[in-house]
Structure 1
Amino acid sequence: MKSPYFKTYSAKPADIEKKWILVDAEGEVLGRLASKVAAILRGKHKPEFTPHMDTGDYVIVINAEKIRLTGNKMTDKQYFSYSGYPGGERFTTPAELLEKKPAEVVRKAVKGMLPKNALGREILRNLRVYAGPVHQHTAQKPEKVTL
């Protein structure tokens, strides 16, 4: 017999309320920061979390150039890209990527912690990463969060 008291809640698009959240990455460990940012993007911190919908908030990450990696990951970890052509494999270390595009290191880490489907790609569009302390979202009045 089904109980009338335990109904599963599923958020509707009209129920979803998105906020802007500001995260300072200065001195933070990359993986720990990325997992917390991914959970906020996904909406897992909200009671109205629904797995098949984008219930998360917008996240702005500043000071991406001042991120930390533990151990020898700065030189031993490798990012892989393939152009599709023979001999088109490229390997980059976080140290090289931090010099060229510091924001990309954080974006790749967060992307790896999101679902590998259309919803994950949609959620990733709610992430803004900046290398320095300046961002262009002051009009949204982001709420500063310490992780």
Structure 2
Amino acid sequence: MRQTTFLKPADVTRTWYVVDGAGMTMGRLATEVAAVLRGKNKPTFTPNVDCGDFVIVINADQIVMTGNKMNDKKYYSHSMYPGGLRTRTAKEMKAKYTVEWVEKAIHGMLPHTRLGDVQRRHLFVYKGSTHPHAAQQPVEMKIKG
């Protein structure tokens, strides 16, 4: 008889991955990174335990969107004051707020719970090709597309 094993938080082993975003499509990159942050790429995945890995995304300024999404896609935020709605296009987000642009795409694919808040902290996004996490010896992660 088979028995389902559940991972305990003390038994989690974490790996650091680095993803090069140069020429990657935003959606394909975001789905793969979100799965690794959750730990869904591991056979020991447990939904209620933070069993995901750390992910570093470099060259975020070279990530692309297909079609006309750069002009058509809009990002909304509200200050909670009357008339406080702020609208930005994807083109403007990429030009001025590159790191937040990538983080917003990945964060939207994680759970919107306390567990998701912990998993969000395992993502590091950088505009250029350098990052300060060399001491963690990150492994390069290949993503199709």
TM-score computed with the length of structure 2 as normaliser = 0.96
1:22 equivalent in alignment to 2:14: no
Q: How does 1:72-83 map to 2 (within 5 A)?
A: 72-83=68-79
Unaligned runs of 5+ in 1: none
Amino acid in the other structure paired with 2:48: H
Shift of 1:8: 1.5
d(CA) in 1 for partners of 2:115, 2:87: 28
The 3-state SS of whatever aligns with 1:81 is strand
- Match status 1:85 vs 2:81: yes
1:13 equivalent in alignment to 2:9: yes
Distance in 2, matches of 1:125 and 1:104, equals 13
Identity of aligned residues (%): 51
1:117 alignment counterpart: 113
Q: Structure 2: where are the runs of 5+ without partners? A: none
Structure 1 length-normalised TM? 0.95
In structure 2, the partner of 1:34 is 30
Q: Decide which moves more: 73-82 or 98-107.
A: 98-107
Task: Name the count of aligned residue pairs.
Answer: 143
What residue in structure 2 maps to residue 97 of structure 1?
A: 93
CA displacement 1:61-108 (0-9 Å, x = unmatched):
000000010111101101110000000000111111111121111101
Corresponding letter in the other structure for 1:80: Y
